[in-house]
A and B are shown apart, each in its own frame.
Chain A
């Protein structure tokens, strides 16, 4: 099975406090630690496990800049066979549809049976996978938490509300968005990263991909971020202050009053 996994480089929210810059037009990016989008890591792990079982290869692809290459290398250190960096100034300012259009160009240059994305990324949109599938006219399932490979089809479980699972049969080729928890992504050590440090990663531009410049970038984007802001959320919590002892004393009084201690 030839599998393409779409991955994105995002600020790591477990490592950073996200702060808005003084102009309100971006977040403070200077000291941010970046990593691969959490969901995409599960997607790559799943792809590797499928190929381990049924053969084939895993290609990881990202739309980004030079710095995005590091996430491709990281996923190759996990076990992905190939990387593809889609990069061009014309991609700048693309909305979700623009990103899907660029990725479609990469899909069409290859011969993939299965395309995986993460369920969502840093902007919480959960859109690129479903858009890509519709553009390709491939079937799609989102929030996948189980994949069983059949003959020309897959049996996939989708996570739905309340912890229930919706089982579907889906024809190949298809696009699936992967939910966290589907597997346990393997650990990548320094040695693994070093092993792939000098592997050549092809870079493809809009022209290489045959993507129409009018369909991507800021010009084509129907959805545009205007600014970042801190919402006025009313009161918020009463923050307990003082020494730890004082805080715990106040908290225990509250817990007693609210029935929190038995």
Chain B
């Protein structure tokens, strides 16, 4: 098996949570092997992250270049292809950056690619056995990935829980090997999300609505329930895509991170991108007409029901208290 690397995402001199998760995943793939953190960027912030990673990983490869100040996937890919040995096993977080970088990197490294890995069962005869999900988490699959010629492995964030194991290693400056970093895609700027009329990140109780609500007209009953409960209304992504509610109410990795005491998931299937926005271990109530919906695996209380009938009845009962 080739050498094992983890690409460390960071911002403002702080490593992303995934940095601690990727080493846990890497040690499951290659228990005894040395795992090297690869950190790209520029200047003092980069040094700070490299030092932080040196306490945790067996080694750190630092790639300092002004062109890498913002992680443009095309530029990062060029640097990695120039620096990593052939047959490398490269771990990335399966987030918006890992999705941008991973597939193309695997082509340029001429190695295998496996996306959104949620479980690692081990390596047998050059084949890595992993667990994935299909159909937004409705079914799981075992998948083999031939890593004998190297691989890019995108690991789902939040699955491999960080532990306290620290290996500790030295920072090696690989900046001189980065090569030509010119790119046909140029980063311009990050436009921050607009604030909405309610700040759901501060709400203690959320009534959250998903595609199960079926029609824009039915959104009103969700507000009625929230009003009766003294809660705010949030939602999953399809509701925002359909423009039935504003983006600031979207819970999930590409929306808001909420930390309520109670979260009512009404007609939401429970995709990992949605659940990724729910923090602080709230009491989750899920109402869904499909008893196999993945949301029931993470909820505290589950109710198999049609929300179009259930919501008005619940509202009435609470109003009558």
Whether B302 and A239, one on each chain, are in contact in the complex, defined by CB atoms closer than 8 angstroms, is yes
With A134-B108, A160-B96, A248-B317 as given contacts, are A254 and B283 in contact (CB-CB < 8 Å)?
yes
Whether A134 and B302, one on each chain, are in contact in the complex, defined by CB atoms closer than 8 angstroms, is no
The reply to whether the CB of A159 lies closer than 8 angstroms to some CB of chain B is: yes
Distance between A35 CB and nearest chain B CB, rounded to angstroms: 13
Residues of B within 8 A of A190 (CB): none
- Near B by CB (< 8 A), chain A positions 76-121 give 96-97, 100, 119-120
Whether B297 and A236, one on each chain, are in contact in the complex, defined by CB atoms closer than 8 angstroms, is yes
The reply to whether the CB of A260 lies closer than 8 angstroms to some CB of chain B is: yes
Whether A130 and B283, one on each chain, are in contact in the complex, defined by CB atoms closer than 8 angstroms, is no
Distance between A26 CB and nearest chain B CB, rounded to angstroms: 10
Whether B314 and A248, one on each chain, are in contact in the complex, defined by CB atoms closer than 8 angstroms, is yes
The reply to whether the CB of B310 lies closer than 8 angstroms to some CB of chain A is: yes
Main secondary structure of the interface of A (DSSP, over half): mixed
Bound CA span A160–B313, Å: 38
Residue of A nearest to B108 (CB): A134
Number of residues from B at the complex interface, CB < 8 A? 99
The reply to whether the CB of A57 lies closer than 8 angstroms to some CB of chain B is: no
Bound CA span A53–B28, Å: 52
Interface 0/1 of B277-291, CB less than 8 Å to A: 000000111100011
Distance between A137 CB and nearest chain B CB, rounded to angstroms: 9
A: interface residue count bin: 35 or more
Whether B321 and A252, one on each chain, are in contact in the complex, defined by CB atoms closer than 8 angstroms, is yes
- Near A by CB (< 8 A), chain B positions 186-201 give 186-193
Distance between A49 CB and nearest chain B CB, rounded to angstroms: 16
Whether A181 and B283, one on each chain, are in contact in the complex, defined by CB atoms closer than 8 angstroms, is no
Whether B184 and A174, one on each chain, are in contact in the complex, defined by CB atoms closer than 8 angstroms, is yes
Whether A140 and B190, one on each chain, are in contact in the complex, defined by CB atoms closer than 8 angstroms, is no
With A180-B237, A180-B241, A237-B299 as given contacts, are A224 and B140 in contact (CB-CB < 8 Å)?
no
Residues of B within 8 A of A126 (CB): 94, 99, 103, 115-116
Bound CA span A84–B211, Å: 32
Distance between B79 CB and nearest chain A CB, rounded to angstroms: 15
Residues of B within 8 A of A130 (CB): 99-104, 107
Interface 0/1 of B222-247, CB less than 8 Å to A: 00000001110000011011110001
The reply to whether the CB of B91 lies closer than 8 angstroms to some CB of chain A is: no
Whether B134 and A140, one on each chain, are in contact in the complex, defined by CB atoms closer than 8 angstroms, is no
Bound CA span A252–B319, Å: 11
6 contacts between A and B (CB under 8 A): A124-B134, A139-B183, A164-B191, A248-B313, A259-B262, A260-B283
Q: Which 4 A-B pairs have the closest CB atoms?
A: A262-B230, A130-B103, A237-B302, A163-B193
List chain A positions with a Cβ less than 8 A from chain B. 11, 13-14, 17-20, 27, 96-97, 100, 119-120, 122-131, 133-135, 138-143, 155, 157-171, 174, 180-181, 184, 222-231, 233, 236-240, 244, 247-249, 251-252, 254-255, 258-262
